[in-house]
Amino acid sequence: MARENSCLSRIAAGTAIGGALGGAVGAVHGTYQAIRLGVPGLLKIRYIGQTTMGSAAIFGLFLGAGSLIHCGK
């Protein structure tokens, strides 16, 4: 029982770290792209938000999956 709880906590931690890292990278990349592409006005905020959330979701998913695979060994 303790091993299952430890495995779930590792997966949750991996997902959280991946989400935080992906959010940071997505915010920087989204800001750069919004400026480079010349996105007008308040649409920059929407563009940056979408890029941030997308990157956070993908990084979190992959780091969580990696933690799950590593936990199974």
Residue 28 has a pLDDT of 97
Sequence-distant (6+) residues with CB within 8 A of 27 are 48, 51, 52
* The model's pTM: 0.84
* Burial of 26: CB neighbours in 10 Å, binned 0-12, 13-18, 19+: buried
Sequence-distant (6+) residues with CB within 8 A of 33 are 47, 51
pLDDT tens-place string over residues 30-55: 999 999 999 999 999 999 999 999 99
Residue 59 has a pLDDT of 97
Kindly state the percentage of the chain with pLDDT values over 70.
Answer: 93
Domain count, the chain: 1
> Which structural domain, as residue segments, surrounds residue 63?
2-71
Spatial CA neighbour of 45 closest among 24, 59, 56, 30: 30
pLDDT at 2 over 60: no
